[in-house]
Amino acid sequence: MKVTVKVPATSANLGPGFDCLGLALPIYNTITIEETVLPGTGIEINLISDNDITDEAIFNNVPKDENSIVYKAVEMLYNSIGQEPSELKINIHSQIPITRGLGSSASVVVGALLAANKLLGSPADTAALLSIATEIEGHPDNVAPAILGGFILSSQEDSGLILTEKLNWPEDWDITVCIPDFELSTNIARSVLPDSVPIQDAVYNAKHLAMFIQAINTKNIKLMKKALHDRLHQPYREKLIPGMKEIMDVFKNEDNVIGTVLSGAGPSILVISHKYDLDKIKSTVKDIWESLSIKSDIRTLKIENNGAEIIEE
């Protein structure tokens, strides 16, 4: 028996929503898990990339054995019901660029969990799958929209419980995803963040996150333009991302550009706009990065309201 799962890309943080906001995007990884019949073959993991922007050397260095997060996800699910994974073949068809802040690791974790769960007869419910995926990823901001789709507010409580709330992203607010051709690992992006921040910065982000949620609920563009500012992660990561400051500055005073934020830990950047010239956004970002000898893939996308889906079994 084999099961195939399609999982969307995700973008987390979105300015002030550090580790608690995330949305799904229509770029997909497809994960297939097949039970093999030959005893002793163990775990086989194969990766196929469909995008030109992922560095082949990085892709080839992704673990394909028991050290893979895909295997760890499957193992944790099996262990949760008192079993051990044995002979499995796992194929990962990748369209989400890795190390670009688009949830590529979350997508394969989620895909592996859903496929393995189906193979086992679906013993785990959505809450259990969210819990396992969060344990592997460290926080639910990417895994929640990957599983549930849409725009998600999430929190991991001290008890371990994962809380999620789906919010309605305004349909006429465009999201332009700007993906540079250089990588930035989450570990490096995390390493530049301080262990503590001034109380003024924590309060600043709390206020702006509240403004963000209200702006979403009321479709208030003027409020959202103010809400998208952040002091917890973007100022520290800016030095790791060539062109980020220039891109943010150039759109700062454009009336119909709502705001510019890092996608996850970066280096991809989201430009959120309303009835703005989308070709101008693309050419502006492309020109800034090209002046720094950086190639890019820039796409305007709608939110993917469907999360991970089993497409074949």
pLDDT for 45:
85
Q: Which residues pair with residue 296 across a beta bridge?
A: 180
By the 8 A CB rule, do 32 and 47 touch? no
Q: Which amino acid is at 56?
A: E
Cα distances from 303 to residues 9, 22, 186, in angstroms, run 10, 11, 23
Question: Which of the residues in the chain have pLDDT under 70?
Answer: 37-42, 51-65, 313
> What domains lie within the chain, and their CATH numbers?
2-168+303-312 (3.30.230.10), 174-301 (3.30.70.890)
pLDDT for 64:
58
Residue for token pair 């906001």: 21
Q: Which residues, at least 6 apart from 121, have a Cβ–Cβ distance to it below 8 Å?
A: none
pLDDT for 57:
45
By the 8 A CB rule, do 89 and 34 touch? yes
pLDDT digits (tens, 9 = 90+) for 257-279: 999 999 999 999 999 999 999 99
pLDDT for 62:
56
pLDDT digits (tens, 9 = 90+) for 10-46: 999 999 999 999 999 999 999 999 988 665 556 788 8
- Alpha-carbon span 287 to 273, nearest angstrom: 19
